[in-house]
Amino acid sequence: MRVLGHPGTLLGLLLLLVAPGEPTTGSPQAKVDCICHNGDYVICDWGSQQKPVHNYSFYFWFEELSKPSECKDYIQKDGLNVACHISNYDLFNSMGMHLKDSQGQTVVHQELRLSNRVRPGRPFNLTLSNLSNHQLLLTWKTPYKIPECLEHVIRYKSNKDTEFMEHSIVNSLKFQIPSVDPEKRYTFYVKSKRNNNCATTDLWSEESEPAFWGKEDMSPSLLTSIKTIVIPLGSFLILILLLLALLRMERVWVVLMPRIPNPSKKFEDLFTAYQGNFSEWAGVSKDVVETFKPNYYEDICAITELLPSGGYLSASSEPTAKSGGPPDPLPDPPPKASPDPAALTT
Ligand SMILES: *[C@@H]1O[C@H](CO)[C@@H](O)[C@H](O)[C@H]1NC(C)=O
Ligand SMILES: *[C@@H]1O[C@H](CO)[C@@H](O)[C@H](O)[C@H]1NC(C)=O
Ligand SMILES: *[C@@H]1O[C@H](CO)[C@@H](O)[C@H](O)[C@H]1NC(C)=O
């Protein structure tokens, strides 16, 4: 349909919307997307994500005038054709394609240039080597056969960073990291796509496995095992120990420990055979005993206190006075100043 101007476009759109039964040039569900995987094979897909409404058949051709040929290698899902695997393809000519429903009606007619639909394989074997002055060299490999056609994005950060740093590299399989801190732990990823010299595409490869460099921090699995095993086990052991200590104090001490022997049995001799002579009973020699005897004598002095009532309170050094015996007979002890015998005994 040729577009002649605004009124014509509008009319055409109206006709498309209103006209019933007109063969649609592509329903929203039916759209074919072809991807050339790493330059090895092509998959054209119309229904692997969303179940197609028909059991479509797929026809494709590579030159403008060549005859369409049907797909020889369908990929099916729930018994319906959903994609086609193509191993013989032409990257540099446009590819035409038809989807036909079970009545043979063409429901999709598309063309695309496969050279823009190449998705390189995922980079692998990331290797880090030390250069001088805290510089690193990251190298990697690509499964794609024309590495000169690739552009790579290196994504890296240290364990102290929150954001990744990104660098783009064209036509090279190495990247020099300007400055790294060996006290940190770095993580690197690389992904690739066909560069602007070879294609117009945003089909990035999958990102590589991570590569690490620097001081190893405790691995997350070790941390979780500490959390899930060591901490509960530790708590359990502490609980057991506490229980044991409690048992020992409460019961085990009484039941298992032998009773403290009555000392009177052993001391009996001291009071019977030795008549209370401790040194003889203990077997200490006479000379030693002599040295313990005091070799000086002090006069016993009697302290007298003048009582307010005029009498005297005599504090004799005799033990009887202190041990709560009856106080020395006083002529008339005034009740106020007299020490309470009960208070003295306690
Ligand atoms: C769809 O078509 C394929 C052949 O293109 C056939 O093998 C398959 O059985 C068909 N599925 C249904 C549900 O008819
Ligand atoms: C990865 O690279 C290292 C060093 O460049 C090499 O020794 C090793 O064989 C490579 N591995 C693979 C799978 O290519
Ligand atoms: C590179 O440097 C890091 C950090 O200083 C060190 O742990 C590692 O062993 C070095 N590797 C080589 C191959 O020298």
Q: How far is the CA of 99 from the centre of ligand 1 (A)?
A: 14
Cross-strand partners of 112: 95
Give the binding-site residues of ligand 3, using a 6 Å CB cut-off: 130, 182
Could you tell me if the CB of 127 is within 6 A of ligand 2?
yes
Token output for 16: 């498309």
Q: Name which residue leads in pLDDT, 298 or 190.
A: 190
What pLDDT does residue 198 have?
A: 93
Q: Phi and psi dihedrals of 165, rounded to 5?
A: -95, 145
Amino acid present at 326: P
Report field, pTM of the whole predicted structure over 0.75: no
The pLDDT tens digits for 319-342 are 444 444 444 544 454 444 444 544
Q: How far apart, in whole angstroms, are the C-alpha atoms of residue 136 and residue 161?
A: 18
Q: What does the angle CA 97 – CA 99 – CA 100 come to, to the nearest 5 degrees?
A: 135
Cross-strand partners of 96: 61, 111
Mean pLDDT on 63-81: 90
Secondary structure (3-state) at 201: coil
Task: Give the containing element (helix H, strand E) for 266.
Answer: helix 263-271
The pLDDT tens digits for 187-244 are 999 999 999 999 999 999 999 999 999 888 666 666 677 777 777 888 888 898 888 8
Q: How far apart, in whole angstroms, are the C-alpha atoms of residue 104 and residue 44?
A: 19
Q: Which of 127, 130, 131, 133 to mutate to test the pocket of ligand 3 (most atoms within 8 A of CB)?
A: 130
Could you tell me if the CB of 125 is within 6 A of ligand 2?
yes
Give the binding-site residues of ligand 1, using a 6 Å CB cut-off: 55, 57, 74, 79-81
Q: How far is CA 335 from CA 51, 323, 327, 341, in A?
A: 116, 20, 13, 12
Token output for 7: 């009124």
Can you tell me which residue has the tokens 């101007």? 5
Q: How far is the CA of 174 from the centre of ligand 2 (A)?
A: 14
Residue 4 has pLDDT above 60, yes or no: no
Q: Phi and psi dihedrals of 233, rounded to 5?
A: -65, -45
Residue nearest to ligand 1 atom 4, measured at CA = 81
What pLDDT does residue 260 have?
A: 57
Quickly count: other Cβ atoms within 10 Å of residue 310's Cβ. 8
Residue 7 neighbours by CB under 8 Å, 6+ apart: none
Q: How far apart, in whole angstroms, are the C-alpha atoms of residue 292 and residue 287?
A: 9
CB 155 within 8 A of CB 166: yes
Residue nearest to ligand 3 atom 3, measured at CA = 214
